[in-house]
Chains A and B, each alone.
Chain A
Amino acid sequence: MKKLKDYLPWIAYFVFFLGILIVNPGTHYIHLVSRVIIFSLYAVAFNLLFGTTGLVSFGHALFYGIGAYITGMLVKATGPEYFLLFIVLGAAGAAFVSVFIGLLTLRLTGVYFTMLTLAFAQLVWGLTFKLYHFTGGDDGIQAIAKPAMLTGGVTKYYLFSFVVVTICMYILWRIRKSPFGSVLNCIRQNPQRITFLGLNVYKNQLKAFVISAFFAGVAGGLYAGLDGSIHPDMLHWPTSGNAILMATIGGMGTFFGPVIGAAILTGLEEIVGKYTEYWSFSIGVVVLIVVLLFPRGVLGIKRLAGNKNKEEKETEVVCNS
């Protein structure tokens, strides 16, 4: 029997994202929260790699972008009837590409891995500009239609995104709680021990990489439908950086941290962006404050230094005893 406390984050999640529909603050804000929930999936998927497995990928925009481009191009080619299927195909495409990138980049560790993922993402970003006839170059792809049942009123698409994201979140949550999730957690803390236990670090990292890419691709596909347009910026390095920022600001050691990070980052852009164009300065300052003063992120504030949560303690016992 699980305690109510274990379900509190899920309850807060539903209250926040469904509550916004009840409050109904107008089209602009529902659109804003749609972005928050899509970024949340992107950041939580990224955090399976970053917070759980300890792999700092700086190229996740690639998978997000591939998801968006495949979904967008399929809609352009065949019409929007099978929108959901196209999102899944986009995510599958991202996962497919991630196998090759993972095979190459995971051979290196630490910062080498980080740089390589960045370089691959920049390569594909460069290609989207060059392949003008295929990707629309720097214009991107405009006027991506939505199926009839999702058009008219941003609330419909918000609800659709919410359902898709929640299903993905639940799957990611189960993955993290599964034995495979514990293996990933151990890989972060003590890769040698995993090797001694007879498990292959490389293979498990690769699995995490592909799963993470898949769900980042889903988020990208959802985003393509939200604005009805996609552009190469979605593949550019700041988008990869945003994943790291969202995960860290919210708390990389927690499952729901990145959701809060996504809300904070989107909120900052909205609020500061109203007054000045220099909002990325404000994000830089927030990141500095978080890194220096709250290294465990917003969700980790209540825990003082050295005071680890239950899950961390358990895996630490498993990994280091």
Chain B
Amino acid sequence: MDFNTLIAQFVSGLSVAMLLFLVASGLTLIFGVVNVLNFAHGSFYLLGTYFTYQLMQMFNNFWVGLLVGVIGAGIVGMVIEVLFLRRIYGRDQEGAFQLLMTYAFILIIDDVVKFIWGPEYKTIPKPDALMGSLNIGTTVVPTYNVFIIVVGLLVVLFAWYFLTKTDKGKMVRASSLDRNMLGLLGTNVPMIMTLVFGVATAMGGLAGILAAPLRTVTPGAGVEVIIDSMIVVVIGGFGNFWGALLGALIIGEVLSFGILWMPELATVLTFIVMIIVLIVKPEGLLAKKMVGRK
């Protein structure tokens, strides 16, 4: 195998990693701040792609579709948080009920998508501006993959800046540590929860839309992605933003090179990586506090 193929495969792995990171960091954000394991997170990935598909049928413009898809996924997320999830916060055995409720939304959203758009595969073409390929040294890589990496990096930078440097970001971090105290200090905590939920589901939607031109759009895509991103989150360390990034990079590259070297085992490789990490470091690679048994 020559050097150029390696670089091209590496870049392709990076773009997969960035998509996984967008989904996994949304999952992490919801879990860390709202304290909900959003099992339906993949459904927002799915909704984003179908909203974009619909808009592209109407206006034939990728960027309008992208915008509407992202906002749409965020709005649906916020509506679900306000109307349903909010009602079970703090209940006895909350975790089990959250799982059930978000699971119910997978069933509902999947069927609604099938009902509106049909079960057959759909395609979303790449935007014209990102059709070609770029030369990196002597290696040729598709422009679209570079675009995904750039968008992913922008989201990482923005999230880091927002969470560590702004007052609003400090409120979000504070609400993940002590909701009651923040509420007593006069902050509208339920609104923060709803907004965080909306931003995170919008990120999931964004990942789905960016992935759509590389894969096909099908009603089952949401579940595939939720399992991959859960592995990312488990590997990186639960509730840890940088852990999600590291985990996504590892899994992205494992998937990318796995398909090249061991096509038979590619889908199973990610689980094997996860099991190895769990045996060596059960709390995840970057977890600060031990999440294991007390």
Could you tell me the distance between the alpha carbons of A126 and B111 in the complex, rounded to whole angstroms? Answer: 24
List, in ascending order, chain B residues with CB within 8 A of A107's CB.
278, 282, 292-293
Given the interface pairs A104-B275, A130-B268, A278-B114, the reply to whether A56 lies near B99 with Cβ below 8 Å is yes
Partner of B99, one of A104, A108, A114, A127: A114
List, in ascending order, chain A residues with CB within 8 A of B293's CB.
107, 109, 201-202
Are B107 and A291 in contact, CB atoms less than 8 angstroms apart?
no
In the complex, what residue of chain B is closest to A114 when comparing beta carbons?
B99
Chain A 85-112 per-residue mask, 1 if CB under 8 angstroms from chain B, else 0: 0000000000000000000100111111
List, in ascending order, chain B residues with CB within 8 A of A58's CB.
99
Could you tell me the distance between the alpha carbons of A138 and B248 in the complex, rounded to whole angstroms? Answer: 29
Are A112 and B104 in contact, CB atoms less than 8 angstroms apart?
no
Partner-contacting stretch, out of A38-46, A72-80, A212-220, A280-288: A280-288
Are A126 and B230 in contact, CB atoms less than 8 angstroms apart?
no
B31 interface contact, C-beta 8 A: yes
Are B108 and A284 in contact, CB atoms less than 8 angstroms apart?
yes
List, in ascending order, chain B residues with CB within 8 A of A110's CB.
95
Are B291 and A112 in contact, CB atoms less than 8 angstroms apart?
yes
Are A248 and B96 in contact, CB atoms less than 8 angstroms apart?
yes
A116 interface contact, C-beta 8 A: yes
Are B227 and A119 in contact, CB atoms less than 8 angstroms apart?
yes
List, in ascending order, chain A residues with CB within 8 A of B267's CB.
126, 130
Could you tell me the distance between the alpha carbons of A111 and B100 in the complex, rounded to whole angstroms? Answer: 12
Interface residue count on the B side (C-beta < 8 Å): 47
Are B234 and A123 in contact, CB atoms less than 8 angstroms apart?
no
Partner-contacting stretch, out of B59-67, B84-92, B124-132, B185-193: B84-92
Are B103 and A288 in contact, CB atoms less than 8 angstroms apart?
no
From residue A275, how far is it (CB to closest CB) to chain B in Å? 13
Size bracket, chain A contacts: 35 or more
List, in ascending order, chain B residues with CB within 8 A of A252's CB.
96
Could you tell me the distance between the alpha carbons of A122 and B275 in the complex, rounded to whole angstroms? Answer: 13
Could you tell me the distance between the alpha carbons of A311 and B100 in the complex, rounded to whole angstroms? Answer: 25
Could you tell me the distance between the alpha carbons of A284 and B230 in the complex, rounded to whole angstroms? Answer: 22
List, in ascending order, chain B residues with CB within 8 A of A290's CB.
100
From residue A109, how far is it (CB to closest CB) to chain B in Å? 7
Could you tell me the distance between the alpha carbons of A118 and B230 in the complex, rounded to whole angstroms? Answer: 9
From residue B47, how far is it (CB to closest CB) to chain A in Å? 15
Given the interface pairs A119-B230, A292-B87, the reply to whether A127 lies near B268 with Cβ below 8 Å is yes
From residue B45, how far is it (CB to closest CB) to chain A in Å? 16
Partner of A122, one of B88, B103, B115, B271: B271
Chain B 278-294 per-residue mask, 1 if CB under 8 angstroms from chain A, else 0: 11001100000001111
Could you tell me the distance between the alpha carbons of A34 and B69 in the complex, rounded to whole angstroms? Answer: 45
Count of CB-CB pairs between chains A and B under 8 Å: 120
List, in ascending order, chain B residues with CB within 8 A of A237's CB.
223, 227
List, in ascending order, chain B residues with CB within 8 A of A116's CB.
234, 278
Are A109 and B107 in contact, CB atoms less than 8 angstroms apart?
no
B37 interface contact, C-beta 8 A: yes
A244 interface contact, C-beta 8 A: yes
Are A50 and B96 in contact, CB atoms less than 8 angstroms apart?
yes
Partner of B100, one of A104, A127, A244: A244
Partner of A126, one of B84, B91, B97, B271: B271
Given the interface pairs A58-B99, A110-B95, A295-B97, the reply to whether A115 lies near B271 with Cβ below 8 Å is no
List, in ascending order, chain B residues with CB within 8 A of A295's CB.
91, 97
Are A287 and B100 in contact, CB atoms less than 8 angstroms apart?
yes
Could you tell me the distance between the alpha carbons of A294 and B45 in the complex, rounded to whole angstroms? Answer: 30
From residue B277, how far is it (CB to closest CB) to chain A in Å? 11
List, in ascending order, chain B residues with CB within 8 A of A245's CB.
100, 103
B274 interface contact, C-beta 8 A: yes
From residue B67, how far is it (CB to closest CB) to chain A in Å? 29
Are A291 and B101 in contact, CB atoms less than 8 angstroms apart?
yes
Could you tell me the distance between the alpha carbons of A284 and B102 in the complex, rounded to whole angstroms? Answer: 9
B264 interface contact, C-beta 8 A: yes
Given the interface pairs A118-B227, A292-B84, the reply to whether A248 lies near B100 with Cβ below 8 Å is yes
B238 interface contact, C-beta 8 A: yes
Are B100 and A284 in contact, CB atoms less than 8 angstroms apart?
no
Are A280 and B101 in contact, CB atoms less than 8 angstroms apart?
no
A54 interface contact, C-beta 8 A: yes
List, in ascending order, chain B residues with CB within 8 A of A191's CB.
294
Given contacts A107-B282, A130-B268, A244-B96, 5 further A-B contacts (CB under 8 A): A111-B37, A119-B227, A201-B293, A248-B96, A291-B104
**B residues in contact (CB < 8 Å) with A:** 31, 37, 84, 87-88, 91, 93, 95-97, 99-101, 103-108, 110-112, 114-115, 223, 227, 230-231, 233-234, 238, 264-265, 267-268, 271-272, 274-275, 278-279, 282-283, 291-294
Q: List 6 A-B contacts (CB under 8 A).
A: A104-B279, A109-B293, A126-B267, A202-B293, A278-B111, A280-B111
Top-5 shortest CB links A-B: A284-B107, A281-B111, A123-B271, A284-B108, A287-B104
